[in-house]
A = this chain, B = another copy of it.
């Protein structure tokens, strides 16, 4: 089983150094490691002392590296997408769209990177995959894709679940139904594809929700702006149910580490030195125990006795958190993100008595 390790924090502060140190550590332990980063990352090329390529290549014993390139990934995904589409829609021969013509839209980098990571993870070729992405809100949106798709499926999936063209035609009749039938959409194939997507979503959510499958560390320096942004990202990570294992304090003094331990309590803080003269030993020795996750609080806790829901939201103030109830779910807005939380059946019938923010928890009490 593969394991993904990634890093979150303000850009330009030790993330790539930490990621490469971690990759070196596991590869030296005999694990098959893949280091994944984006274009451009000149720092990674300089630290690995080799130019990076768009398909994984060996850069050291047990260590492969790849630099994801949006245009290359788009070509590959377009071929896949065409195959799936051609099952349902007769693609016009003449007006064929060449993937080379497609322009990259905002957000495509994340969607394509997510798909590439899914493929590396499912390939089973690597014990450890180090993802050195941007480590910011966009990375959290990317890691939130399975949860987001799951919600859309639950919210609008009812219509798809029993999707049977013949049935719809029989019951509704009329020209729209006839049009669908004459388009020759194969119900069974459609259901199979939906099933495949559903299992991807379920697996994706299982990965994001399990710190043994996706291990995430915060990286910060002692600079106040970096600390504030990293703490904000810690809170934002909870909005996609992403637990954080600990904090890496990059180039920090001992006194800084004490401050960071207070700021990020109850997480453990590991001081990481900068690299000097290509000597990685001090860094590798400073890395935390990646199997230790007992300190990371749960994003969500339910106390059935007192009928209270505890939403862990570190780094936010009362003013930055908004709570709304929509039928069987509640929506928590914080950190540029919305989280729709489906209530367990016993709480669904009850209405909210009170919602108060007692840092770091939003506590929702039911009648």
Interface members, chain A 161-186 (any B CB < 8 Å):
174-176, 178-179, 182-183
Provide the residues of chain B in CB contact with A326, threshold 8 Å: 98, 100-101
Number of copies of this chain that the complex holds: 2
> Is the CB–CB distance between B110 and A107 below 8 Å?
yes
**Which listed residue (B13, B145, B155, B233) contacts A106, Cβ 8 A?**
B145
Contacts of A367 in B (CB 8 A): none
Residues 26-69 of chain A: 1 if any B CB is under 8 Å from the residue's CB, otherwise 0?
00000000000001101100100000000000000000000001
A107-B104 contact given A70-B336, A179-B176, A182-B176, CB 8 Å threshold: no
Number of interface residues, chain A, beta carbon within 8 A: 57
Chain B residues with Cβ under 8 A from A40's Cβ? Answer: 137, 228-229, 232-233
Binding site for B on A (CB under 8 A): 10-13, 39-40, 42-43, 46, 69-71, 98, 100-111, 114, 137-138, 141-142, 144-145, 148, 151-152, 155, 174-176, 178-179, 182-183, 224-225, 228-229, 232-233, 324, 326, 331, 333, 336-338, 340
Q: What is the bound-complex CA distance between A145 and B104, given in angstroms?
A: 10
Collect the chain B residues with CB atoms within 8 Å of residue A110's CB.
Answer: 106-107
**Is there contact, CB below 8 Å, between A337 and B104?**
yes
Q: How far, in angstroms, from A114 to B108 measured CA to CA in the complex? A: 16
A321 to chain B, nearest CB (A): 12
In the complex, A299→B145 CA distance in Å? 36
Q: How far is the CA of A108 from the CA of B106 in the complex (A)?
A: 8
A101-B331, A106-B111 known, 5 other contacts, Cβ within 8 Å: A42-B229, A71-B336, A100-B338, A107-B107, A107-B110
B104 touches A105 (CB 8 A): no
Which residue of chain B has the shortest Cβ distance to A47 in the bound complex? B225
Contacts of A228 in B (CB 8 A): 40, 42
Cα A155 to Cα B96 with chains together (Å): 11
B103 close to A340 (CB less than 8 A): yes
